[in-house]
A and B are shown apart, each in its own frame.
Chain A
């Protein structure tokens, strides 16, 4: 097997998952379950594609993707945090809304292509054999996905803000009693999640397959949601999970080319099977699930209480 091209393909397949899942991890850690990742990704994807093709600037495209993700997440935040609507139902509605809305906006962009997001050449090292292209020759969003994940890991474990965020997610009533602005913190987490989903969408329509096609995320938002559970809400495991998902997907495509006789349907199923296994493992033990899942996830917070 040609190692370098394989790794390069794995990186492009994993990056959108990592971006979206990082955002959702922060959202869920604050106690909010936003099932609208797929919808936010699609709105981000079309916004990024539209902005990039209108202005010719990839940077503006990426920015537009993030802003569109935030805007979509604002709808979710307003409904669930201010109006106290059910999070699961609102999240599902947001996904359906995102699919339809992006298709509506995108109708006039069908059939156009863009140049892919430029590959960087960090410190002029991308030409170094084997490792150069992998470590120094990626596009900006790949580096951003690692940067954001590291930042999230640092904030969650090393800062006061991280402690407050986790406290809000574990027990919003206690956090409220201590004087922490629960709703404000959750708004922040939801909007961050929206921005990251928007970036994931931007990666799809600007770098992964630089075109706009309806429903082009094709379920990646749901994989990102599954990944957060798979990672038991921890950034380190999230990185492992996202790259394992990506690697398995690409590996099964390569395996077919080598003539390996594993049914491709089985390979396609593997990542989901892994998620279900992790869910069973962490849910089977009452203490273990309490250690892992944010206690207030999906619960509505009534500030008056």
Chain B
């Protein structure tokens, strides 16, 4: 009964607005009409009032972070993206975030909590949130989900990631030019394709200018533990590495490089303040445009499940200024960056051989996204074996 009345209410309101659009009715009359209609609606059990309210309600966007927003790395950059959404839409959008969410059952609880509290769009920003995101998404078909760095999608679940390996290839080229010991120390988090791809891209870049380069990898089994990351960097330097790079989230390894007088790279955000003499460049994640675009799509009702994997070209990956290196190396780095952006150069262009010397990408070929996304082998130049 009340639903039918509400329907009638909406129709009358639409009629009034349409009439207004075409006529020169005075404002006061317009208000009177609105007030009248709303009053009528209220007498019909408030159904209309409710409908009007939801029509102008804010779009709520939720973010789930794996680390603290103060990590100055991965999560920090996602939160910058959230702030960009705030800035772009003002009062029309309300953003919420939950930080330091453990990958696992806790994540599912947090995501469900956001979905059941009226969020229209939820970004889950770590690989380990993949299954919890999909599980919750099935229960909330009207909520839109965006999962970072994953590969499972659904009608209401998109995935997005950045081609960080493009930046890592450039970093590798710089390392190959700068290193004197021909040895790179790589502080890595977990042996997932994302991280393995970064290691391989780095050594491919390094070997493109210096075939003697090798990488020594230390797995710390955490995304975030400044002390342990720093210790890993110290161990690598003690074993002869003179370039430190990392796929963990804190600035500690770079800071160790600074204090030990070797060079390193910033991770996720520009970390030059931590290492004014050591940072060569930093691979910066820029989620801002993507987050704004996806929020806009939800507001306009145009959101559709998609799979986005952008790199340097649309600006999802950016390079910090090239510092602490000779001018010719900086020039080369800029050229490589430009070549990747224009599509002339692909970091995973063949010939590429794996550790045992088998050709995995033939000369003249380029590794397809399927291979990149499932990468579970080391290429030549990486020492040790990949933990299974």
Could you tell me which A residues sit within 8 Å of B by CB distance? 2, 5-6, 9, 12-13, 16, 103, 106-107, 110-113, 116, 204, 208-220, 249-250, 253-254, 256-259, 261, 263-265, 268
Residues of A contacting B226 in the complex (Cβ-Cβ under 8 angstroms): 204, 208-209, 211, 213, 216, 218
Query: Main SS of chain B's interface residues?
Result: mixed
Which candidate, B48-56, B234-242, B305-313, B331-339, is the interface stretch facing chain A? B234-242
The closest CB in chain B to the CB of A107 belongs to B70
Q: Which of B69, B72, B228, B384 contacts A249 (CB 8 A)?
A: B228
Contact (Cβ within 8 A) B228 A218 = yes
B100 closest partner in A (C-beta): A215
B185 cross-chain contacts in A, Cβ below 8 A? 257
Are A9's CB and B231's CB within 8 A? yes
- Interfacial residues of chain B within 189-232, with CB under 8 A of chain A in the complex: 216-222, 224-228, 230-232
Contacts of B96-110 to chain A: CB distance below 8 A: 100
Q: If A103-B70, A254-B239 touch, does A13 touch B227 (CB 8 Å cutoff)?
A: yes
A218 and B100 contact, CB distance less than 8 A? no
Partner of A214, one of B68, B231, B258, B273: B68
Q: Which residues of B contact A264 (CB under 8 A)?
A: 219-221, 387
- Chain B residues in contact with chain A, CB under 8 A? 67-72, 76, 100, 185, 216-222, 224-228, 230-232, 234-236, 238-239, 250-252, 255-256, 258-259, 273-275, 383-385, 387
Q: Do residues B221 and A253 form an inter-chain contact, with CB atoms below 8 A?
A: no
Docked-complex contact B255 and A211, CB < 8 angstroms: yes
Task: Say yes or no: A209 contacts B230, CB within 8 Å.
Answer: yes
A43 smallest CB distance to B (angstroms)? 15
The CA-CA distance from A113 to B244 in the complex, in Å, is: 18
Residues of B within 8 A of A263 (CB): 387
Give the docked Cα–Cα distance between A107 and B76 (Å). Answer: 11
**Residues B231 and A250 in contact, CB atoms below 8 Å apart:** yes
Q: Is the CB of B70 within 8 A of A256?
A: no
The winner among A211, A213, A216, A254 for most chain B CB atoms within 10 A is A213
Contact check, B68 vs A215: say whether CB atoms are below 8 A apart. Answer: yes
Contact check, A213 vs B221: say whether CB atoms are below 8 A apart: no
Return the chain A residue nearest B76 by Cβ.
A110
4 A-B pairs with the lowest CB-CB distances in the bound complex, closest first? A214-B68, A214-B70, A218-B225, A5-B238
Q: Enumerate chain A residues within 8 angstroms of B256, measured Cβ to Cβ.
A: 209
In the bound complex, CA of A6 to CA of B258 (Å) = 19
Question: Chain B CB within 10 Å — which of A9, A208, A220, A257 has the most?
Answer: A257
Selected contact of A9 from candidates B225, B234, B251, CB within 8 Å: B234
